[in-house]
Structure 1
């Protein structure tokens, strides 16, 4: 008999360091307006395809994959207002006799007149570019019958002409989303507080209907647990480290795997980020020690290899490990109170993006200002004032709530004269 455990989670807004990290995460979320559009577009694309001769009666399933499936979507690489969303289109028997490039071309042709700014055929999908900077990737897939959880083969063909490198690649995005969901249970208090702040931030009150194959219901819970929130921040950190980088970068699905592996309910946000990063570092170090490239496979489908296109070399994975060590080192210094406030804010801006960090700090300042006007104080469970008004307004140092996991941290403020 399986026992279901309920976890409350830790409110990330109770601790000064976690609070600024949570506010950064809020600033890179898919906004409610685009979330609603994503759901509508998701169905509209399917309707459009099913109205064409080539795809009529040939779409068996149309479901989200990747970050979209586990509720971990953030703004695109190097941007603050672009979002990549991924859909799998499981196709019927008519496509089973076709070569990978033919399938991609058929999908591209069917979407050629779709009302978007641009339609582009990629190696494994066709991308729709919308005017509001949303990108929708539709990946054609052929179900491998007799296997579990919609295991399928997806196309891999660079084009423009047929090549001996064209192939079908094993994939089980649906099964992985289920695995991730099991590994990262709902942390009710954490999710509730984050959702409340998200609603306050966007003044959104709508509630979407939850459907089995629908986009996750972000209007109810944006992020359901600390592991997913930490995953979003690590993805953002990766994006900033690789701005302007021409080659492939560490794949999001690999990071999602490590978030699932490292998930530990009722952890603080900063501790969860450190835990995930250290897990990745350890595996990279072990692979590099033996001169091997990191190998990470889907835990429900060993032939679905998350690292099949990255890393391209041992040096490339070692570079990412260096970035992660810097993340861990600086987060640990902040947790111990060993970083001056202005240095901390400068580091956050440089490694998570100036715009989103400034916005996060402004949000906190605005909340504190509102509390002052209402003659409210923000207290921790232990009775300490979390963000004393004079300290925020004038730059006077204040003592934050110490993280339960950090012993004898010396008092400091996380904010300098300018936030």
Structure 2
């Protein structure tokens, strides 16, 4: 449960402004969100079309995971691409052979040669993926409802290459509701960052007025916890780009679940990232799972285990612990050391990738030049600012941090 931060809320620090600009760069745009929603709704209707192998079998479709909790990020930042996870509830027997359900869903989408999605569809062990011409993807996970809490169902798992096949009890709708009920709009976080300018087509402009659109939430209307989770996901994705990295990435849903127990939400975005990463590291000391590893479950439906496939073993668990330790060390360096702009950019690049790091540094320079034009500060040749700065935005007293509403996206990088 998130609670109010016990201390006074600070001014907008330089390191928090940098992280906010990184986070802003990895957000899925409102336009891309609308495209994502259009795509998945079209797919659901297509599966249920006349003549489909699953005609009249689609009960409901809804986004799940990061897309449903507002923690999604653009999967490939430079290209503004996104990946969307969608639950497709089917009117089928919950004990139907997993291979049969996944095969039917694949056939329903792939269709005949020359049809809308033909050749763009891949059958995976738990979902069917559609990849669009621009590289964005939609993963459709079929489930069949079972007795129990609202929206609980059986997931169908079938791995063709090994013959592995089983049903898994899940409740993605329940988790999204639980997460959003515990992390909501945070006025203090909004006020702290509302004056932060953003770079648009090479020019500094004031942030547009926030719009009360439930399907897409501006970054300032999210909790520091939600934005910190997005930064953790970005860091995870950057680390997993290394050719030497094998095996599964830590699932975003497990990170989100653990973050809910990370204590009071910090007003500083950097401190919040450190706090969540530190708490997850304490969880990674646990060995109570079936493979002698950490066990994370859906708080809304404990039968739904989020760590059933990761970590594969203690080595994989320790590997991510090392990643988090390096993240924390670099964030302390960003906060506590007097780094030049080049050094700041190098830290951000190491943590969040070149595209996001460059955006943050350019935004900082443009903001500084904007202030210099107003004769309020002077920039030295090392990139440091001296002189009188513009009045900082000061947030109001601490309030319970809440902020996640539905927003599209996926995960990876550049």
Match of residue 73 from structure 1: 72
Task: Give distance in 2, aligned partners of 1:128 and 1:197.
Answer: 37
CA–CA separation in structure 1 for the residues paired with 2:56 and 2:375:
60
SS in 2 for 1:150: coil
Does the 8 A contact of 1:20 with 1:360 survive in 2?
yes
Q: For residues 153 and 79 of structure 1, what CA distance do their matches in structure 2 show?
A: 37
Distance 2:79 2:11 in 1: 22
TM-score (norm 1): 0.79
CA distance 1:316–1:12, shift in 2 (3 Å): farther
Aligned residue runs from structure 1 range 326-341, under 5 A? 326-337=326-337, 339=339, 341=341
CA displacement at 1:221 relative to structure 2: 5.3
RMSD: 3.5
Larger RCO (CA within 8 A; separation ≥ 6): 2
Deviation at residue 29 of structure 1 after TM alignment:
1.1
In the aligned structure 1, how far is the partner of 2:142 from the partner of 2:194? 33
Give the Cα–Cα distance (whole angstroms) in 2 for the partners of residues 51 and 194 of structure 1: 46
Label 1:306 to 1:291 Cα distance change in 2 as closer, same or farther (>3 A). closer
The CA distance in 2 between the partners of 1:340 and 1:19, in whole Å, is 15
The aligned counterpart of 1:143 is 145
**What does residue 179 of structure 1 align with?**
178
* 1:207 Cα deviation after fit: 5.1
Give yes or no for contact 1:277–1:324 (8 Å, CA) kept in 2. yes
Is 1:29 the counterpart of 2:30? The answer is no
Q: How many residues align?
A: 378
Q: Secondary structure at the match of 2:248?
A: coil
- Change in Cα spacing, 1:160 to 1:12, as seen in structure 2 (3 Å) is farther
1:395 aligns with one of 383, 393, 404: 383
SS in 2 for 1:156: strand
Using the TM superposition, give the Cα deviation of residue 397 of structure 1 relative to its aligned residue in structure 2, in angstroms: 5.0
Query: Relative to structure 1, is the Cα distance of residues 89 and 184 closer, same or farther in structure 2, using a 3 angstrom cutoff?
Result: same
Q: Conserved in 2, the CA contact under 8 Å of 1:12 and 1:18?
A: no
Q: Distance in 2 between matches of 1:275 and 1:10?
A: 17
Structure 2 counterpart of 1:46: 44
With normalisation by structure 2, the TM-score equals 0.80
Task: Report which of the two has the higher share of helix.
Answer: 1
SS at match of 1:157: strand
Tell me the distance in 2 between the aligned counterparts of 1:24 and 1:110: 40
1:304-338 alpha-carbon deviations (Å, 9 max, x no partner): 11111111111111111111111112212332236
